[in-house]
Structures are given as structure tokens and as C-alpha cells.
Structure 1
Amino acid sequence: MDKRSFLAVGLLGVLNSACTTTSSSRGDPAARRGSIDASVDSALSKLHTQVQGSRELTDKAKGVLVFPSVVSAGLGVGGSYGQGALRVGGRTAGYYSTTAASVGLLAGADSKAVFVLFMTQDSLDKFVASKGWTAGADASVTMAKVGASAAIDTQTAQQPIIGFALSNAGLMANLSLDGTKINKIDL
């Protein structure tokens, strides 16, 4: 393992333990589920308000995975972590965590909401059956593009898995979820 990989793994470990410690200190599992569900509701509402056509897509999706706050931090080597929920038929079907490592020109920290829409039953079934799912390796995630009319691009809307990333400034462009690891968590 080279030095950068070692540092990335170490940073992810620190991020993961910090987020786990924070979550654990919030109390019982029912309270944690309620907190995640409320954050998911808020993130979906923000997406629907800010991105024209997103409500129609989430309504058509077979499942919607929402990470209301994915925190990224780093200095040269970075990582990100967040917890969220999978919604199927408007109801929570499970809780998940997301982690990713990155190397490059990084400095500082940020937070974004990440949404993964499973537009086909097959893509949702493969995700649910996985013992750990990696975007780009287990399935390709097409990041949503907004056209000149500020609506979702029609080519994007026809893909089996669609991703959105929303910061305080709005929909994030030129972002890839490739390499992002998603695991089910028991709450």
C-alpha cells in the first residue's frame, strides 16, 4: 500500500469513527431512525424545490436512496461519510452509510446531500441484494444534468440509476459517485 492509500484509509477511519461516535451518542436506535427519516424528508423537499423535474423522477423511481448530509474533508487526501435511508413506495426500506476516499487538490471540508434513484426494478433489486455496493463497479450512476430550461435533461431521465448531489449553492455539476461505497446499517 502506498503512502497516499494509507493516508486515505486512515482518514476514512477517522471520519467513520467520528460519525459513528456522534450517531451513537444520540440515543436509542428508534431515535436515530427518526432523525435520519426527518433529515431524508427535508433533503427530498429541498431537492424538489430546487431542481425542476426532480419530483417527477423520484415519483417514477422504484427506490430512492437519500444521504441528507455527506461530509467530506481532506488536505491533499480526503474522505467522505454520511448516513441515509432507502425509500421504496414512499416508505423507508432500510438505512445505509456511504464512504469514499479521494486524492488530489483537496483542502477543507464541505457537506452535500446525495440522492440515488433506482429507475428500474432490476437496478433496485441488485442494490438491495448486494452485501456492499460500489458506484461505478457494481452499477453505473448517471449524474443528473440540468438543461438550458433548468429542467432535468431527458437523456438523463432514461438511465437505470440517476444520481443528484445538492449543496447549499444548488445542484452540483461535474461530480462523480464512482468509487463511493454504500453499505446497509442496522439501526
Structure 2
Amino acid sequence: MRSGSRFTIVSLLLALGFALSVQTPASAAELVGFSDHRFRPGTIVIRNSEKRLYLVLRGNRAIRYKVAVGKSRKAWTGHAQITAKYISPAWSPSPEVRRDFPHLPDVIAGGAPNNPMGAAAMTLSNGNFAIHGTNRPGSIGRAVSYGCIRMANNDIKDLFQRVGIRTQVVALP
């Protein structure tokens, strides 16, 4: 074998090895048992203390997702409904966020790497809150937001397809 051919083969093997080693983050969603009969199928239940969101299904089951929740004194509890759904939404900081981070621009375009809404968002009827993706996957499983529920981008895309406008959302402590 000529040295040029060896170089080509080695290059191809290295490229293939690199391609196989790059992994896209897997969905954190799990199908689990869910026997809390207070909630009808189709309801989203957020358990702040667990940092989990459940989409209630029939047959005492739910799809469970890992989420980030509101930080101390920012987490919300109560009832809301999904009021709108957006793919790759633009983001404007709330007055509270602007007060803490005055350097932020008025609007961050959808799809921008610094847009905190991630791949999709669903706004809620209880004020400035949403269930949305994030471009900071390390925040998932923590209490870090100003009240919004953050999901991995793969997970928000999945949930987005499963629910509609007026879906009931219940946040528990």
C-alpha cells in the first residue's frame, strides 16, 4: 500500500471515530407510574421539590422530564394554562431580570446562542412565566430561574408536540 493510501485510510478512520464519539444529548424523558388521581390525563404537573415535570397519561402513567425550576423565592406554585406556543422564540427580559442584569439587550432574537428560551416555549396564564428550552443544559435539575420551567431542548420539543393551548399546568411545592 502506498503511503498516500495509508494516510487516506487513517484519516477516514480518525474521522469516523470522531463522528461516532460525538453524541447528541439524549432525552431525559421517562415513562413512569403516576397514581395521583387529582390530575386528569393531559395535565402537566410540576413538582418543584423534585425538579421534575410530569405529563399525566392514562392508565396511572406519566412522562417524566428533568427540569430547572425557580430559585429560592422565585418558584411558583398553583394553577395555570398554556396560552401560546412558540418555536425558537425571541426573548425580552422581564423588569425583574432587567433590574438584576441592566446590561441585557431589550430583545434577544430567537435561535441566538445567548437566547435563554432555547428551542421552544409555551407561555403560561399566570404572568411572565413559561415552560421553555434552554441553551444551558447544566441548569437542568437545579433551582436557578426567575420562575420559568426550563427543559432540555430535546425535551421541550417532545412536550411541545404532545400538548396544546389551554393544557392545564399545576405546580406543586
Task: Give the TM-score taking structure 2 as reference length.
Answer: 0.30
Q: Which has the higher strand share?
A: 1
Q: Which has the larger radius of gyration?
A: 2
| Highest RCO, 1 vs 2 (Cα 8 Å, sep ≥ 6) | 2
TM-score by length of 1: 0.29
Please identify which structure carries the higher helix content: 1
